[in-house]
Chains A and B, each alone.
Chain A
Amino acid sequence: MIFSISWRNIWRNKVRSLVIITAVALGICAGVFSTAFMKGMMDQRIRQAISTEISHIQIHRQGYRQESSLQLYMNESPAVVEQIKKINHVKGASQRIIIQSMVSSAETSSGVKIAGIYPENEQNVTNLSTKIVEGKYFEGVPRNPVVIGKKLAEKLNVKLHSKIVITLQDMDKNITAGAFRIAGLFETPNSTYDKMSVFVRYNDLSRLLNLPEGASHEIAILVDDNEMVSSVQDEVKALVADYEVLNWKEISPEMGYITEVMDMYMYIFIIIILLALLFGIINTMLMVILERVKEIGMLLAVGMNKLRVFTMIVVETVQLSLVGGVAGMVVGSLISKYFETHAINLSRWAKGYSQLGYDTMVYCNLESEMIINITILVILTGIIAAIYPAYKALKYDPAEALRME
């Protein structure tokens, strides 16, 4: 009966209740949408980083990541790659030669990271081939093809099929250079990556560097299920015990932290919204109590104990908050669901976003866990908001309350 009384009490003053319900609904709707939007943006960034830049797992020789030395290569990597491909849930594996070098055009030069790859293997690991915006993925150029970012091409002032020179230090520490012709230009949402990354064929780079056959600095692995990364990593570790086998969170910890930090930010954001609403709800409930002093006096007089009166006020406050909360969540979820399939275009701010590696077309990502947590937070807000008004109500002496007009 307490639930029924509390529920009906909410609708005694419809306008007042609707004002606070609307405020809660708008706050929660904004919170849900912002959370889904940010979550979508972060997930896209991580997906993009995994599929274009770092893959799920990387293998290096011990110490390579700290020194980036040409000499720290792994032997017989093609055989290792073939063995890795046989592991369950491995979608693809690709060995790479990685060097930091200088690339020059007729006009200017730029420091870059050069990756010598097997294009056909790399296609199974990264989505570079799908990011080609001009030319073809290592096709159309018979000798020494190179694929560079469109941003780097602009910086070097070169076009498709232009010649660029890569200058590097070989295994014998001699400075050497190779001329390459641009077969394709790629463009990813990460403009920094586009300016810094150059891809050539494994054999072309290996020849220039005088690397032993089968040597590589990095083996990148893509897994078909995010949940399986850790188990695949364990199997790979067992296979190449002498090498360093790291997953994407270990390779790029900031990527791993993005989700945690963003989740924390989102909850702080929601809590700030709820805190603001808390005072609105307290104000409404104080008005309610003030209006019902005589009624509370009657309830206490006829034998309703203080715990029940307290519960009645708490239930009413929670119901009031939940009506707004649920309405806000429904509307916020519907909006977020719509934008899960219809991208929000942030191209107006594209420069800033792409420099940070974010896609300018953002798809929301609404998680059910988030909805559950927001519901719990709304209920908690209702309970907290009820405490002071309920305490005020319980301070009344029944005889004194009954005398009040």
Chain B
Amino acid sequence: MSIIEIKNLTKIYDGSGFEVKAVNGINLSFEKGEFAAIVGPSGSGKTTLLNMLGGLDHPTSGEVIVDGQNIWKLKSRKLTDFRLYNIGFVFQAYNLIPVLTAKENVEFIMHLQGRSKKERDSRTRELMQAVGLEERMNSRPSKLSGGQQQRVAVARALASKPKFILADEPTANLDSKSTETLLDIMEHLNKEEDITFIFSTHDARVVKKARRVITIEDGKVKSDEVR
């Protein structure tokens, strides 16, 4: 059964005197536990599609249905809560809160969800262990390498126990070794916790690991390959 269904999704940006169709009538669906990569050249519409999927960028038309609910029908506040409880985000530039330690960054989302300290502590420890950074729990992001920061970001994305994780070019700023480690961790979490991962990427190493590869060009799905 699909957990995400995208129906005729379109995003048009208004330029001065012209229109840009970043996403042009895309139809897709994702099953629970998928490890999917959305690939395509720069400007093909990957990030826009991911943003609309994550409730960040309002589509011009079309629907994003998660568990039977069109998320773009939700009011702004409900949509924010929807993101908090259902979606984990991993960004290209890590985007950790610089004044918080790795542990606090992971805890932060659970704090927003109003979870108890005991629950926060145990989940944070478990996730930091899963991403192999138990020893660096009390380090601030500035004291961590790019790869380590992205692993913390993955732990943070998982902390809220989301239905799926959206990762926008998560390896773009990482070296080969860090990329390899991060992908192994995400693959492991995908299998162990049955979490759905959807990446936007043009990194061949990510594409290689993905079990489904959706290619986008000029805002349209060019191919959709399940391995």
Chain A positions within 8 Å of B, measured between CB atoms, are 1, 5, 8-9, 12, 294-295, 298-306, 308, 397-399, 402
Contacts and interface: CB of A to CB of B under 8 A. Distances in A.
Interface of B: 51, 54, 56-57, 76-77, 80-81, 83-85, 87, 89, 91, 93, 95, 97-100, 104, 107-109, 111-112, 156, 160
A403 to B, nearest CB: 8
Contacts of A308: 112
13 contacts: A5-B97, A12-B99, A294-B95, A298-B95, A300-B80, A303-B83, A303-B87, A305-B77, A306-B80, A397-B56, A398-B56, A399-B51, A402-B95
B174 to A, nearest CB: 18
Contacts of B93: 294
Nearest 10 A-B pairs (CB), nearest first? A303-B84, A8-B99, A399-B56, A298-B95, A399-B57, A303-B83, A399-B51, A305-B80, A1-B111, A398-B56
A5 B83 contact: no
A370 B76 CA distance: 44
B51 A302 contact: no
B56 A303 contact: no
A216 B103 CA distance: 86
Given A1-B111, A5-B100, A12-B99, A301 B77 contact: no
A1 B81 CA distance: 18
Contact of B99 (A9, A298, A397, A402): A9
Contacts of A302: 83-84, 89, 109, 112, 156
Contacts of B89: 298, 301-302
Contact of A5 (B54, B81, B99): B99
B54 A301 contact: yes
Of B57, B76, B91, B97, most A-chain CB atoms within 10 Å? B97
Contacts of B111: 1
Contact of A301 (B56, B97, B107): B56
Given A303-B81, A308-B112, 12 more contacts: A295-B98, A298-B89, A298-B91, A298-B95, A301-B56, A303-B84, A303-B109, A304-B84, A305-B81, A306-B76, A398-B56, A399-B56
Of B84, B98, B99, most A-chain CB atoms within 10 Å? B99
Given A303-B80, A303-B81, A305-B81, A402 B91 contact: yes
A5 B100 CA distance: 7
A295 B160 CA distance: 19
Of B76, B80, B111, most A-chain CB atoms within 10 Å? B80
Contacts of A295: 95, 97-98
Contacts of B77: 305-306
Contacts of A397: 56-57
Contacts of B84: 302-304
Contacts of A300: 80
Contacts of B112: 302-304, 308
A301 B83 contact: yes
A306 B77 CA distance: 8
Contacts of A1: 104, 107-108, 111
Contacts of A303: 80-81, 83-85, 87, 109, 112, 160
A397 B48 CA distance: 14
B91 to A, nearest CB: 7
Contacts of B54: 301
A308 B108 CA distance: 13
Contacts of B85: 303
Nearest to B51: A399
A29 B24 CA distance: 62
Nearest to B77: A305
A298 B109 CA distance: 12
Contacts of A294: 93, 95
Nearest to B56: A399
A29 to B, nearest CB: 29
A277 B140 CA distance: 33
A9 B57 CA distance: 28
Nearest to B109: A302
Contacts of A402: 56, 91, 95
Contacts of A9: 99
A301 B156 CA distance: 13
Contacts of B98: 12, 295
Contacts of B57: 397, 399
Nearest to B96: A298
A1 B104 CA distance: 9
B41 to A, nearest CB: 18
Contacts of B107: 1
Contacts of B109: 302-303
Contacts of A304: 80, 84, 112
A398 B87 CA distance: 14
A305 B75 CA distance: 12
Contacts of A299: 97
B95 A8 contact: no
A296 to B, nearest CB: 11
Contacts of A398: 56
Contacts of B97: 5, 295, 298-299
Contacts of B87: 303
A298 B83 CA distance: 12
A100 B144 CA distance: 89
Contacts of A301: 54, 56, 83, 89
A113 B98 CA distance: 77
Of A1, A302, A398, most B-chain CB atoms within 10 Å? A302
Contacts of B56: 301, 397-399, 402
A295 B96 CA distance: 8
A399 B51 CA distance: 7
A399 B166 CA distance: 13
